[in-house]
């Protein structure tokens, strides 16, 4: 499932580089304290399911890194929401997450592709901070809403899928 957040949402016209050195600073620094979204375990689970659907390569990452991977993905999604909510626009929020993730990559081994970061940001906007959708450009919002509809139409299989009930 493709995510068009970077291309559609970035006002600069270029997505943040996933390989940008950790020493880089966001183009626009915004003062203020970051506040992560307050989520429930159910919302966190929905975020992980959406991520697994949007970027299937993350399943291999989670399988190999397990708890570290889940924490890294949840942290990056929550950070994106916090940066977006603090102000400075979607470009700044996306770039700040990439810089932060790159700074701890030796510990997390998070895949450093633009597709991965787009999946994290898109899934966060759907499951962790849907209220922040009001802060993104209309074109990006249309992509997020289309992705949200697609995810709702294709819910993940349950653990009991493939089995039939006894008569």
Angstrom distance (rounded) from CA 53 to CA 128: 16
Angstrom distance (rounded) from CA 161 to CA 167: 17
Hey, is 123 helix, strand or coil? helix
Q: Is 64 a domain residue?
A: yes
Q: Is 38 a domain residue?
A: no
Q: Is 130 a domain residue?
A: yes
Q: Is 9 a domain residue?
A: no
Q: Is 32 a domain residue?
A: no
Q: Is 139 a domain residue?
A: yes
**Quick one: pLDDT at residue 33?**
82
Structural domain boundaries, residue 127: 55-155
Hey, what are 83's tokens?
A: 């940066």
Q: Considering its fold, how many domains does the chain have in total?
A: 1
**Quick one: pLDDT at residue 109?**
94
Listing DSSP states for 62-73 in one string gives HHHHTHHHHHHH
pLDDT in tens, the chain (167 residues): 555 554 444 433 333 444 433 434 444 555 678 888 999 999 999 999 999 999 999 999 999 999 999 999 999 999 999 999 999 999 999 999 999 999 999 999 999 999 999 999 999 999 999 999 999 999 999 999 999 999 999 876 543 434 334 33
Angstrom distance (rounded) from CA 160 to CA 158: 5
**Quick one: pLDDT at residue 154?**
80
Q: Is 148 a domain residue?
A: yes
**Quick one: pLDDT at residue 35?**
87
Nearest to 51 by CA among 34, 72, 68, 31: 72
Q: Is 128 a domain residue?
A: yes
């Amino acid at each position: 499932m493709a995510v068009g957040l970077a291309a559609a949402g970035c006002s600069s016209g270029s997505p943040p580089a996933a390989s940008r050195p950790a020493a880089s600073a966001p183009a626009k620094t915004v003062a203020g304290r970051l506040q992560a979204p307050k989520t429930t375990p159910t919302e966190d689970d929905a975020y992980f399911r959406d991520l697994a659907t949007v970027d299937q390569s993350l399943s291999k990452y989670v399988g190999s890194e397990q708890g570290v991977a889940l924490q890294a993905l949840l942290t990056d999604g929550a950070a994106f929401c916090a940066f977006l909510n603090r102000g400075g626009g979607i470009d700044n929020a996306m770039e700040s997450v990439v810089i932060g993730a790159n700074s701890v990559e030796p510990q997390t081994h998070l895949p450093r592709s633009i597709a991965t970061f787009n999946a994290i940001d898109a899934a966060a906007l759907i499951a962790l901070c849907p209220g922040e959708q009001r802060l993104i450009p209309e074109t990006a919002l249309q992509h997020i809403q289309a992705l949200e509809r697609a995810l709702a139409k294709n819910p993940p299989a349950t653990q009991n899928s493939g089995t039939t009930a006894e008569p």
